[in-house]
Structure 1
Amino acid sequence: MLHEIDLSRADLNLLVLFEAVLREGHVGRAAARLNLSASAVSHGLGRLRRLLNDPVFLRTPKGVVPTARALDLAGPIGLVLAGARGVIATARPFDPARSARQFVIGAPDGVSALFLQPLLAVLRRDAPGVDIRLRQLLPPAAARVGATAWEPALAELEARTLDIAVAPFEGVPARFAAQVLREEDFVILARAGHPFAAAPTLPHYCAASHLVVSMTGDANGFVDDALAERGLSRRVALTVPSFFMALAVVAETDLIAAVPRGFAAAYAPRSGVTSSEAPLPLPRFRIQAVASKAALQDAGIAWLGDALLAAGTPADAVSPSSCDARPVP
């Protein structure tokens, strides 16, 4: 018969401390998050190390990093805490108007730019005490957009270092819940007066020098795949890691770039940059908000998902006729 663990001898608050330190990566910030002193958190970590028989977190000049054992435990501990929060939430419903909670949302910069301002408006109106920590999601090196590109984000959702992730997910596993916020396609940005803007044809497109937004530095993307199907190619003169950087560079150079339509509509006019329809059919993609089903037992995270849905689906976001989108052949 297996030895039964006596939970009465274990302080389960240490699991909350574990989650806070893992999320913040810093003892001082975790202390502030928990309304404790740094000394109290340090003492708690000492007790946690004895409880788990592992160093758990290792000090670095910039904070702390989890051990391999801590990373293995992050998912199970997250599930335990999500279940506990779900039980408590049934007794005390989440009230956004009174809440002072902090949520962590992960998204690529071109995606967060689409929902951030509307989300802040929702928070100002309905949840003025709620704080958001926005983290940029990065796909693994050499990953292409597709089913595996955002697997690291799924791991973070299970570890509860992210509450919700928003990205062009595909093939989300059944243990997660996914909600489509909007559909997007791509348009082409060029500086005002650029020859391509005056005549956005396919030959002019191929002849231009291109900028590609690539978080990994890989210059080959879905545009190149679409061109290759027609026996065509382009020169990628520059890659940059963010859409906002792309916007700044395009405004001051002869480079052109493909960016999401919603991003272009929101930010290109104020930068003096023009947008044109792509001269060849490009894929549409779905931006989805994803959370673990265990985390959605927490009424606060469920509310945040609803808030993101309200912020991410403006009336013209998914209507092909209103944004002149071409159907994908």
Structure 2
Amino acid sequence: MLNEVDLSRADLNLLVIFEAVMRERNVGRAAARLNLTASAVSHGLGRLRRLLNDPLFLRTPKGVVPTDRAEELAVPIADILARIRGVVAMAEPFDPKTSTRRFIIGAPDGIAAVLARKVLEGIERAGPGVGIGLRQLMVGRSRLYDRVWDDLLQPLETREIDLAILPLKEVPARFAARVLYREDFVAVFREGHPFAAEPSLDHYCRLRHLLVSETADFFGFADDMLERLGRRREIAVTVPNFMIGLAVLAETDLIGAMPRHLAAIQCARFALVTAELPLPVEPWDICLVVPRSALMDAGTAWLYDAVFTSFRAAADADASASAPRD
């Protein structure tokens, strides 16, 4: 029979210290986050190292890096702490009308710009004291169809962000998800651009293109589609986000592929126009995602519902306003 682990030697605060150091990668910053001294954090890490029989974090000139064992422990420890926080939160019911809690929502900028217009006003009405921080999430490369967005679920599991809004084809079972809308891409270019008169694939391939790529990778989803057709295009410029891309397109003869919903909101202010891409681009779901364990926290559960409800209400209002009148 296996010996039971002696939990009398364990201290929940050690897990909180582990989480802070894992997030900050720096003992001093972790101490500041926890309102402790650096000495207290270092002492706590020493106790945790002895308890788990692993160095956990190795010093470097710029801070600390986690060991393989620490990386393995990060997700289960985050889950344990989330469950405990949920239990504590249930003892003090969350009231959005009086709460001053701060939440962080992660999304790519092409989604965040759509989210900000349709959601933030609704959340402010429901929770006037609640603060919302938008954190940009971007992949390290530009191929949307290789499940690369799945990597961005990690900040949810480590509780760096409260919710994520991402284009996902599949959502792992440990997450709850709701589809906000369907998205695809359109061609975007300045008014008077010659592509408007001849929006063909041949013309598209002859043009010089702008690509949104945080890492300046010169290969995007459209290049993947073109490759399958035996075609290619010339990428002349890469930019790190869609809003910069819109500004550059407004001042050049470049053409870019942009999310349809973002283009509908932003193109008019940049004097840009759109056309359908001459490519077989499959639309995908934009999903609101949260760890199921985090929904035990009444505040996170409220935010999850509030974002979805606000977005759908704004989308319905937009649809009604654009519907033809008799």
- TM-score (norm: length of structure 1): 0.82
Is the alpha carbon distance of 1:311 and 1:53 closer, same or farther for their aligned partners in structure 2, counting shifts above 3 Å? farther
Q: Which residue of 2 aligns with 1:13?
A: 13
SS in 2 for 1:87: helix
Aligned 8 A contact 2:207 2:234 in 1: yes
Q: How does 1:140-151 map to 2 (within 5 A)?
A: 140-141=140-141, 144-146=143-145, 148-151=147-150
> Which amino acid is 2:106 matched to?
G
Matches within 5 A, 1:224-235: 224-227=223-226, 232-235=231-234
CA contact (8 A) 1:147 1:172 kept: no
Contact 1:183–1:285 under 8 Å retained in 2: yes
Q: Are the structure 2 counterparts of residues 182 and 249 from structure 1 closer, same or farther at C-alpha, using a change threshold of 3 Å? A: same
Gaps of 5+ in 1: 325-329
Task: Check if 1:57 corresponds to 2:57.
Answer: yes
Q: Displacement, 1:12?
A: 0.4
RMSD between aligned residues: 3.3
CA distance in 1, matches of 2:26, 2:118: 30
Offset of residue 77 of structure 1: 0.7
Identity of aligned residues (%): 56
Kindly indicate which of the two structures has a greater share of residues assigned to helix: 2
Number of the residue aligned with 2:104: 104
Q: Secondary structure at the match of 1:181?
A: strand
Matched, 1:300 2:293: no
Alignment match, 2:159: 160
Unmatched 5+ residue regions in structure 2?
Answer: none
Structure 1 residues 305 and 231, CA, compared in 2 at 3 Å: closer, same or farther? same
Q: Deviations for 1:201-249, whole angstroms, at most 9, x for unmatched residues?
A: 4443333211122345444444345556666543332333321221122
Question: What is the identity, as a one-letter code, of the residue corresponding to 2:267?
Answer: A
Q: 1:258 to 1:119 in 2, by over 3 A?
A: same
1:272 counterpart residue number: 271
Deviation of the 1:167 alpha carbon: 0.9
Q: Paired residue for 1:209?
A: 208
Alignment partners' CA distance in 2, 1:100 and 1:60: 37
Secondary structure of 1:150 counterpart: helix
Q: TM-score normalised to the size of structure 2?
A: 0.83
- Contact 2:118/2:315, CA 8 A, preserved across alignment: no
After TM superposition, give the deviation of residue 11 of structure 1 in Å.
1.7
The separation in 1 between residues aligned to 2:238 and 2:317, in whole angstroms, is 29
CA deviation vs aligned residue, 1:261-320 (integer Å, no higher than 9, x gap):
111122222223223333455322211012222222222222221232134435548999
Q: Is the 8 A contact 1:19 1:74 kept in 2?
A: yes
Alpha-carbon separation, structure 1, partners of 2:121 and 2:7? 44
Q: State the match for 1:288 in structure 2.
A: 287
Structure 1 residue 26: deviation in Å? 4.1
2:104 maps to 1:78 = no
Residue 174 of structure 1 corresponds to which residue in structure 2?
A: 173
The alpha carbon displacement at 1:180 in A equals: 0.6
Contact 2:186 2:275 (8 Å CA) reproduced: yes
Closer/same/farther in 2, CA of residues 127 and 319 from structure 1, 3 Å limit: closer
Q: 1 CA distance for matches of 2:58 and 2:123?
A: 36
Comparing 118-127 with 206-215, greater Cα deviation is found at 118-127
- Equivalent pairs counted in the alignment come to 323
Deviation of residue 133 (structure 1)? 4.2
Equivalent position amino acid for 2:299 in 1? G
Would you say the 8 A contact 2:145–2:221 is kept in 1? no
Describe the shift of the 1:225–1:11 C-alpha distance in structure 2 as closer, same or farther (beyond 3 A).
Answer: closer
Distance 1:269 1:277 in 2: 17
